[in-house]
Amino acid sequence: MNASDQTRVLHLIDGLAGGGCERCLWDIVRVSDAEKLAHRIVTIQPDSGDFVYDERLRAKGAYVQPPSPRFLNFLSKHIQDLAVRKVLVPWRKCLTLTWRSAGYVLAAREVLKSFLRFRPHIIHTHGFYGFVAGLMVKAVFRKPMIHTVPCTFEQMKDAHYGWTPGLYARAQRRVDYFVTGASRAELLGLGIPASRIVSIRPAVDMQLIGAVRNVRARHYSEIRRSLGLPPEAMIALSVGRFHSSKGHLFALESVSQLLPKFPNLHWVVLGDGLQRAQLESKSVELGITDNVHLLGFQTEPLPYFAAADIYLRTPVFESENLSSTQAIAMGLPVVGFDTGCESELIDKVGHGVLVPNRNGEALTEAIAQILALPDRGRALGKRGADYSHNLDISQITAPIFESYEVLAEQRVLDE
């Protein structure tokens, strides 16, 4: 097959940090059939030192954007330094506007270069600013457009992107397909036809999961040793950025209440963010610093899932995401908040306990219930592991690839 026979997809995405949209994009690129699909990625925001997937995507030849200029990195550092100083908010906003504006100029240049050199057939947008950029690009170049909805509408509002659903409603006719994991009902509520909604679910690389499962005992010992914990220590794992929407404070409070009954319980958290100082301060206030381990972002999190006894899924707006799906596949019992999301699996699979949203007391009781079981919830977790063949990476990429094929066939007919 000649390069001219490939369907070329230009992806516009806010950035390449460690979130769900970024991981979805990485999965699309890495499992694509290179004879059928070619990808090019443009980030709307410059790298602020938080890009996670950039090198992997560069190795695949999909991301060729030059590194951010030094002055933008300098601005970004000062913006982050000022984020916790409320008295300097006006100054921070001014720096942020400068940083964003310069990033948009650079992104526009990369988009133009992509159309001249890569000659894409399809635009696939991800995130918030990626969607806005995609609408402008489509208005100029008239290419088919797919958009991956980054989160539920409630999450958008919480993250100060509450304008996005309204834009979806106004611009829906310009979008060929909306891809979503948890917002199908919300999109239908905006009047978007079901025929233009592509439903996906959080998915994991089951081959990689299997490899980690095979050496689970080794990870169980090595992670405890690396944290200075005794072999009999129980690990409650949480994964997610340090932000109020992830509900880490609920988990922290629960751990403090559980320690009298389970003195060997340790809370391990993979993630980072502006809430770190608050979590550290609260753990000191509760006197449980020896049992709290805030390990930052981990590029290889699966060994921690293999070492854990239970997974605490405490986001207050979402249900299943990449991390909770990894917990399911690794066979961990899960305690999660009932957020009412359509992607909920606990009540379907029975691999854990679902508790009322933001109810710390119910969360504590559910964790205690599982840890008090003779097997510490392993039988519960096995239900998830048995179900996990439904969560393979093909479950998320196949519907998207089918959408590309439909638009590619339409392109051939048009030509």
pLDDT of residue 90: 67
Instruction: Give the position of tokens 């940083």.
Output: 99
3-state secondary structure of 123: strand
Architecture of domain 3-202+393-414: 3-Layer(aba) Sandwich (3.40)
pLDDT of residue 80: 62
Tokens (6 digits) for 133: 């950029």
Q: Please, which residues have CB within 8 angstroms of residue 258's CB and are 6 or more apart in sequence?
A: 265, 364, 367, 368, 371
Q: Is 113 exposed, middle or buried (0-12, 13-18, 19+ CB in 10 A)?
A: middle
pLDDT of residue 1: 42
Under 8 Å between Cβ of 169 and 48: no
Task: Please tell me the distance from the alpha carbon of residue 261 to that of residue 237, in angstroms, as a whole number.
Answer: 18
| Widest CA span in the chain | 71
Give the H or E element holding residue 122: strand 122-126
Task: Please tell me the distance from the alpha carbon of residue 34 to that of residue 9, in angstroms, as a whole number.
Answer: 12
Task: Please tell me the distance from the alpha carbon of residue 300 to that of residue 18, in angstroms, as a whole number.
Answer: 12
DSSP string, 78-102: HHHHHTT-GGGHHHHHHHHHHHHHH
Task: Please tell me the distance from the alpha carbon of residue 273 to that of residue 192, in angstroms, as a whole number.
Answer: 35
pLDDT of residue 85: 54
pLDDT of residue 281: 96
For 142-156, the pLDDT digits (tens) are 999 999 999 999 999
Cα-atom radius of gyration of the chain, to the nearest Å?
22
Tokens (6 digits) for 223: 């992670």
Tokens (6 digits) for 278: 């608050």
Task: Please tell me the distance from the alpha carbon of residue 367 to that of residue 251, in angstroms, as a whole number.
Answer: 10
pLDDT along the chain (415 residues), means of 10: 76 92 93 95 87 94 88 64 55 71 88 95 96 96 96 93 97 96 94 96 89 96 97 97 95 98 98 92 97 93 97 94 94 96 92 97 98 96 95 89 92 58
Instruction: Specify the CATH superfamily of domain 206-391.
Output: Glycogen Phosphorylase B; (3.40.50.2000)
Give CATH 3.40.50.2000 domain extents, the chain.
Answer: 3-202+393-414, 206-391
Q: Please, which residues have CB within 8 angstroms of residue 19's CB and are 6 or more apart in sequence?
A: 150, 241
Instruction: Give the position of tokens 């509002």.
Output: 157
pLDDT of residue 193: 97
List of E strands, 23-121? 37-43
Task: Give the closest residue to 40 by CA, choosing from 143, 142, 139, 118.
Answer: 118
Cα 373 from chain centroid? 31
pLDDT of residue 45: 87
Q: What is the C-alpha end-to-end distance of the chain, expressed in Å?
A: 18
Task: Give the closest residue to 29 by CA, choosing from 5, 48, 53, 4.
Answer: 53
Under 8 Å between Cβ of 197 and 184: yes
